[in-house]
Chains A and B, each alone.
Chain A
Amino acid sequence: MQLVIFFVLAAITTVAGIIMVSADNIARSIYSHVLALLGIAGIYLLLYAEFMAGVQVLVYAGGVSIMLLFALMLTKPAKGVIRALDHPRRVPAFITAVVLFGLLSFSIFQAKWPLKVEPSRVMTPEVIGKSMFADYVLPFEIVSVILLVALIGAVVIGVKGREDTDDEE
């Protein structure tokens, strides 16, 4: 039963991914990206990682996608639908991607992974939280600084027209 759910989710996500990279209408591309992200959230649920699934929906499907749509709207051409115009490099890109996938899947099958049969069910937010704030506080703090820097960067580069508030040269 779980296997069926997995294949359904995997199929949806993969198809959404393919539409995302090849759609000509860019807005449609972003919508299918959102669908792919939701599919991945479903996969996390299959792995009993509920917290991850929640974060995925909140941050990615909810936040980042909206941000992308905004950016898309702000950078569109004067009129008409936003077209992708991808023609020149499609074939070499496709070949590269396929070759890479072949290499990776061959190696993945070959390897002897040291693992269990069933995914563990103990990764509750409590376990993650305890681990994060006990052993891994430093990475947590580094991430907070990274987010501060990203905020500064977005303001410094993205916000328009602050130069005219300089009063003297």
Chain B
Amino acid sequence: MIPLTYYLIFSAMLFCIGVYGVLARRNSIMILVSIELMLNAVNINLVAFSAYLRGDDPIGQMFSLFAIAVGAGEIGVGLAIILNLYRLRNTINIDQIDFLKW
């Protein structure tokens, strides 16, 4: 059988790959996608816990479903903002988005 820790390590790996993506990527859509990968890693955690905890608790899976819905919504709004950004400046490279200085 597959020990729980394997799933947890796997999801930690995906989470950290996502972190790398958020920090290193310059294109805005790619940053969004990396955040989405992190969200998926979190969902794996939730579902795995829900399956392996004593007591047959559906909370983890339900929480995960809600998280998917909310994540999809946020990405929708994010893409709308990015589209507007592109409309105004013709670029979505975050190095070039600096009208507001630090």
Contact = CB atoms under 8 A, between A and B. Distances in A.
Contacts, number: 232
B29 A101 contact: no
B23 interface: yes
A162 interface: no
Interface size class of B (residues with CB under 8 A): 35 or more
B61 A115 contact: no
B89 to A, nearest CB: 11
Interface size class of A (residues with CB under 8 A): 35 or more
Interface in B31-49: 32-34, 36-37, 40, 43-44, 47-48
B97 interface: no
B37 A60 contact: no
Given A101-B16, A128-B62, A128-B65, A116 B79 contact: no
A103 to B, nearest CB: 9
Given A67-B79, A101-B12, A14 B17 contact: yes
Interface of A: 2-3, 6, 10, 13-14, 17-18, 20-22, 26, 29-30, 33, 36-37, 40, 43-44, 46-49, 51-52, 55-56, 59-60, 63-64, 67-68, 71-72, 74-75, 77, 82, 84-86, 88-90, 92-94, 96-98, 100-101, 104-105, 108-109, 113-120, 122-123, 127-128, 131-132, 136, 139-140, 143, 146-147, 149-151, 153-158, 160
